[in-house]
Amino acid sequence: MRDTFQEQLIQARRNLIIDAAIEVISEQGFQRTTIKQIASKAGIADGTIYNYFKNKDGILTAIIARLSEGEAEDVNAAEAEQVDFETFISTFVSNRMAEMDSSFQTLKVVLPEMIMDADLSTQVYEQIYAPMFSVMEQYFEELIALGQIDAVDPALAARLFASPLLGMMMLRLLDDEHVATNWALYTEALPEFLLKALHKDEKSAE
Amino acid sequence: MRDTFQEQLIQARRNLIIDAAIEVISEQGFQRTTIKQIASKAGIADGTIYNYFKNKDGILTAIIARLSEGEAEDVNAAEAEQVDFETFISTFVSNRMAEMDSSFQTLKVVLPEMIMDADLSTQVYEQIYAPMFSVMEQYFEELIALGQIDAVDPALAARLFASPLLGMMMLRLLDDEHVATNWALYTEALPEFLLKALHKDEKSAE
Amino acid sequence: MRDTFQEQLIQARRNLIIDAAIEVISEQGFQRTTIKQIASKAGIADGTIYNYFKNKDGILTAIIARLSEGEAEDVNAAEAEQVDFETFISTFVSNRMAEMDSSFQTLKVVLPEMIMDADLSTQVYEQIYAPMFSVMEQYFEELIALGQIDAVDPALAARLFASPLLGMMMLRLLDDEHVATNWALYTEALPEFLLKALHKDEKSAE
Amino acid sequence: MRDTFQEQLIQARRNLIIDAAIEVISEQGFQRTTIKQIASKAGIADGTIYNYFKNKDGILTAIIARLSEGEAEDVNAAEAEQVDFETFISTFVSNRMAEMDSSFQTLKVVLPEMIMDADLSTQVYEQIYAPMFSVMEQYFEELIALGQIDAVDPALAARLFASPLLGMMMLRLLDDEHVATNWALYTEALPEFLLKALHKDEKSAE
DNA sequence: AATGAATGAGCTTTCATTCAT
DNA sequence: TATGAATGAAAGCTCATTCAT
């Protein structure tokens, strides 16, 4: 009981620091951000941070860990529940788009570091994206087997399918104004875009 | 004559340094890369770099400048020549994909910095992407007017159209193995993907 | 109470550094002195200096500030109290000579920088010497009006009056042995020297 | 003949560099001045300077050497010719003041370095000032013997005598405007100032 | 003899990390 | 546990000096 309370306090403190870190780092990058800035934003002293994190990299690791928390479940769910393709797409799109929107600052922190650090990239990719693609590949395999989409390499299909969403993310990260202000519009437009792009071409079947 | 030769020598030296810089920075990021590392990779002394670049940022600027050299021409060309949509897409896709492939390391250097630095992002975005989108928007406006694609906001159409390509870039940057090893395959698959996704839905027109 | 104690600690630290700086700089000049040398002489680490001073120039500024602390008061006092000329001279001389003696090392630090940097010269001059001359000029104007000294430009009189003192300073700075070892003797001799030099020439008045 | 011509060429080159050096150094000090700046002002390449001077310090040495060229002769002359005191003073003052005026920039270069470097100070002092004071001391000894001035330590008398001149130099170096613009006036006023200050006090003799 | 590109030692400054309080 | 002053390694950058041309 006491331990649990203590642990919760510690978790709260860690979260406080992580929140502050994300806010500052998302504006200027991890390297350019100093421990002092993070501590100052969190309203604590520099040294205190080292009671909660081993070192500066530990903060980044914690930020990444937070990112992987809410992932891949609905994909599994969709697959498990055998929802039809159209429903799956719209669910998938709105979930991913909502996710990107809500964790935008975190992505701004993590993605540059992933691009710059091969090890980190591999680690996060295998942890977050690989499982997602794995599930999607299985899903697409089934769809192909069912004849609902054209027969292609499922791995390729999964990545083609994901690409517009990743592209939206890229545009958001690059501060494209139209995308930033019309996020909802893109969330609406994407399902049909994907559906048409992936759906079996009726004419070619004739 | 002599001046030209001198200038060429200087340019060659600058390129040598820029090449070395791209190589090192693409592996560990701009901030983490030291002048010593770049100099060492280029086979010269630290101080020599400052004969060719004002400071460390000057190197980044030069890398960016190199990125903007080969941009936006064929888009203009396509638009100017009024090529039909199908041809335009496949040309556009293969050009962009080839570009991304060849300047991959440079993108690995520049993109993280763009994401982390709002000013840099704006500058590069307006220099490279904005013109591209501007041309594409005009193109899509015409297509809509001609009834070749469904009537939507041209800005949105342009971004939807670009998103799978940007998504491919994202996957490359995140070291997705399937994308990296099958780049050619994706270059082939994308035009049809885009064509179907954007083309006027015949059935819905009936 | 706590704050005051903290502030005193900080002041003590600053003084420690300034003392060390004066000692080292007076021996080899500001430019030639490294932060490492000052820190080493103060018995602290390089970085610690930057907790107390913005940068290297900040140390010089602090040294100059220390110089201006004890200036110009007795001149004002003498002027205000309308002391007779003879008393004024001997007071003025012994005060100035004592001042130069006690702040000799500081002068060795500041003066070369003043000579070499026009901006600094102007700043310090206007802060320290200009007020002194201004008061002295008023004093000499009165003396001339009272017929106690020959009628000359008060500005010139003030500077002539100050010149032997500044000359003594110069000789001290140039390590003249006789002046250095007989400072007290010069302090005694100067008042009469000045009195005779400036006093109204009785014979010429006849 | 050929050698002499060659040597003259070399001397001319050296003088060109020294002139450029004095100009630049007098504005910002020796340390802050770069070889590049001196070379640029002299209209030659950096490396060329090293054909005429061993290193940067060699330039300073040459500047100092130039300073000692025109010294101490008229003092000797005056002493040798047994000119009367009044004439001696006015000659001495105008010579010294003219010297200071003409070699002002050089003094601005050399003096700070002398103050900052004990070895240099000793060297220059012994070379330039010590002989002057030595001759002056002899002169004052004679004057005292002749009863023309009060009996004091000749060394002290010589320094008191020199102090107003050194004070004028100090004021010039510190950019005192009144002194700078009225140099001629001070040259006129100083002889009487010194004469009265040093002359035997008739009243006290009564 | 003149050049100026190359060199690299050495400077100022920053900042992650430690630790006495 | 929280603090923040102290630390010192390591960075970017300058510039006296060298030397191939």
Nucleotide of closest approach to D32 (CA, C1'):
F15
pLDDT at B120: 93
pLDDT at C109: 97
C163 contacts D27? CB cut-off 8 A: no
DSSP state of C126: I
Q: Which of A125, A164, A182 sits opposite B174 (nearest CB)?
A: A125
Give, in Å, how far the C1' of F13 lies from the CA of D28: 20
Nucleotide of closest approach to B54 (CA, C1'):
F13
pLDDT at C205: 39
Q: Which residues pair with B149 in a beta bridge?
A: B199
**Regions in chain C scoring below 50 on pLDDT:** 1, 203-206
pLDDT at A206: 36
A189 has a pLDDT exceeding 50: yes
pLDDT at B77: 61
Which chain C residue has the Cα nearest residue D163?
C167
pLDDT at D206: 36
Assigned token pair, C38 = 């000052």
Residue whose CA is minimally distant from F18 C1': D47
State the average pLDDT for chain A: 88
User: C199: helix, coil or strand?
Assistant: strand
**Regions in chain B scoring below 50 on pLDDT:** 1, 203-206
Give, in Å, how far the C1' of E3 lies from the CA of D43: 12
Domains of chain B: 2-65 (1.10.10.60), 70-200 (1.10.357.10)
Which chain A residue has the Cα nearest residue B203?
A202
B112 contacts A115? CB cut-off 8 A: yes
Number of alpha helices (DSSP H) and beta strands (DSSP E) in chain C: 13, 0
Least confident segment among A123-132, A190-199, D110-119: A123-132
Assigned token pair, C29 = 């000049």
Q: Distance between CA D90 and CA D88 in Å, rounded?
A: 6
Judge whether residue D51 contacts strand E, using its CB and a 7 Å cut-off.
Answer: yes
B125 vs A: CB within 8 A: yes
Residues from chain B that touch A121, judged by Cβ atoms under 8 A, are 174-175
Q: Report the percentage of chain D scoring pLDDT > 70.
A: 89
Residue whose CA is minimally distant from E19 C1': A47
Instruction: For residue D114, give the amino acid letter.
Output: M
pLDDT tens for each residue of D41-80: 999 999 999 999 999 999 999 999 988 776 556 555 655 5
Q: Distance between CA C3 and CA C100 in Å, rounded?
A: 35
User: B117: helix, coil or strand?
Assistant: coil
DSSP state of A86: H
pTM of the full structure: 0.91
Instruction: For residue D134, give the amino acid letter.
Output: S
Give, in Å, how far the C1' of E11 lies from the CA of A175: 40
> Look-up: residue for tokens 């320290």?
C128
pLDDT at A143: 84
C152 vs D: CB within 8 A: yes
Assigned token pair, A114 = 């992933």
Per-residue exposure over C80-116, b if at least 16 CB sit within 10 Å of its own CB, e if not? eeebebeebbbbbbbbbbebbbebbebbbbbbbbbbb
For residue C128, the number of C-alpha atoms closer than 13 Å in the C-beta half-sphere is 20
State the average pLDDT for chain C: 88
B182 vs A: CB within 8 A: yes
Nearest CA-CA partner of A71 in A24, A148, A124, A117: A124
A122 vs B: CB within 8 A: yes
pLDDT at C28: 96
Q: Report the percentage of chain D scoring pLDDT > 90.
A: 60
Residues 158-177, chain D, touching C (beta carbon < 8 A)? 159-160, 162-171, 173-176
- pLDDT band for position D205 (cuts 50, 70, 90): very low
Which chain B residue has the Cα nearest residue A166?
B167
- Sorted by sequence, the CB contacts under 8 Å of residue B82 that are 6+ apart come out as none
Nucleotide of closest approach to C50 (CA, C1'):
E13
Residues from chain A that touch B128, judged by Cβ atoms under 8 A, are none
Higher pLDDT, A47 or D78: A47
As to burial, measured by CB atoms within 10 angstroms (0-12 exposed, 13-18 middle, 19+ buried), residue D113 is: buried
Least confident segment among A59-63, B129-133, D95-99, D110-114: B129-133
State the average pLDDT for chain D: 88
D186 contacts C159? CB cut-off 8 A: yes
Judge whether residue D29 contacts strand F, using its CB and a 7 Å cut-off.
Answer: no
A122 has a pLDDT exceeding 60: yes
- Sorted by sequence, the CB contacts under 8 Å of residue B63 that are 6+ apart come out as B18, B21, B22, B25, B106, B109, B110
Residues from chain B that touch A190, judged by Cβ atoms under 8 A, are 160
D108 contacts C156? CB cut-off 8 A: no
Q: Distance between CA A129 and CA A123 in Å, rounded?
A: 10
Q: Distance between CA D71 and CA D92 in Å, rounded?
A: 12
Q: Distance between CA A95 and CA B151 in Å, rounded?
A: 26
pLDDT at C78: 58
Give, in Å, how far the C1' of F16 lies from the CA of A195: 69
